[in-house]
Chains A and B, each alone.
Chain A
Amino acid sequence: GQNIDQPTEMTATEGAIVQINCTYQTSGFNGLFWYQQHAGEAPTFLSYNVLDGLEEKGRFSSFLSRSKGYSYLLLKELQMKDSASYLCAVRDRGGNYQLIWGAGTKLIIKP
């Protein structure tokens, strides 16, 4: 079956670095997305990986290893506003249609 696993909750300290992992088992692979969702708000797009390696965008970076079915989101210089849920989603086939979603990781930032 199709499955995406993320830790349910993580805690980190303001100013530190945190890595949120995502492992997936899908019938195919056509890209992996990371979204941020603040409580009561819409998910917003953070990053997209389709090739192995690291994609950097300011304080946020996302890594992909297709052979291991593994990705992580790295957040540096954590700020209180980074407290949110982080959702991992995989497109298992071509075309801009369905995504398979993980349950999300709730990140709590402490002062």
Chain B
Amino acid sequence: DVKVTQSSRYLVKRTGEKVFLECVQDMDHENMFWYRQDPGLGLRLIYFSYDVKMKEKGDIPEGYSVSREKKERFSLILESASTNQTSMYLCASSFGTGSNQPQHFGDGTRLSIL
């Protein structure tokens, strides 16, 4: 079974802090994704990566950055946390370039910025 592990289930940080969210997958997937999920909205893509050291902006990259130094690990960084970044953050990974390959998700990190 595919395992996508996010480092924290719940996290509370203060405005202005630099926040790191970590994600590790164990299936040697090429592609990794960071989403945020808010009530009433669909999953919104923040950043994705299709290879080590490669990254692409998603729909809402402002205020975020990412790092992919190793194939299995994809980190999301909130450069200076703000209250409007309070959300559920979901990491996902998928295999290769086939259009039928599903994304596999971690359990999510519920982040609160005070």
Instruction: State the Cβ distance, A95 to closest chain B Cβ, in Å.
Output: 5
Q: Flag whether A60 is at the interface (Cβ < 8 A).
A: no
Do A91 and B108 contact each other (CB < 8 Å), given the known contacts A97-B48, A98-B48? Answer: no
The answer to whether A96 and B94 have CB atoms under 8 Å apart is yes
Residues 49-108 of A at the B interface (beta carbon under 8 Å)? 50, 87, 89, 91, 94-104
The answer to whether A96 and B108 have CB atoms under 8 Å apart is no
The answer to whether A96 and B95 have CB atoms under 8 Å apart is yes
Chain B interface residue bracket vs A: 20 to 34
Interface of A is mostly: loop
Complex Cα spacing A42 to B103, Å: 11
The answer to whether A102 and B99 have CB atoms under 8 Å apart is no
Residues 71-114 of B at the A interface (beta carbon under 8 Å)? 90, 94-108
Chain A interface residue bracket vs B: 20 to 34
What residues of B have a CB within 8 angstroms of the CB of A11 in the complex? none
Do A31 and B107 contact each other (CB < 8 Å), given the known contacts A97-B31, A97-B48, A103-B40? Answer: no
Complex Cα spacing A71 to B103, Å: 19
Instruction: State the Cβ distance, A10 to closest chain B Cβ, in Å.
Output: 16
Q: Which residues of A contact B (CB under 8 A)?
A: 4, 8, 30-31, 33, 40-45, 48, 50, 87, 89, 91, 94-104
Q: Which residues of B contact A (CB under 8 A)?
A: 4, 30-31, 40-45, 48, 50, 56, 58, 90, 94-108
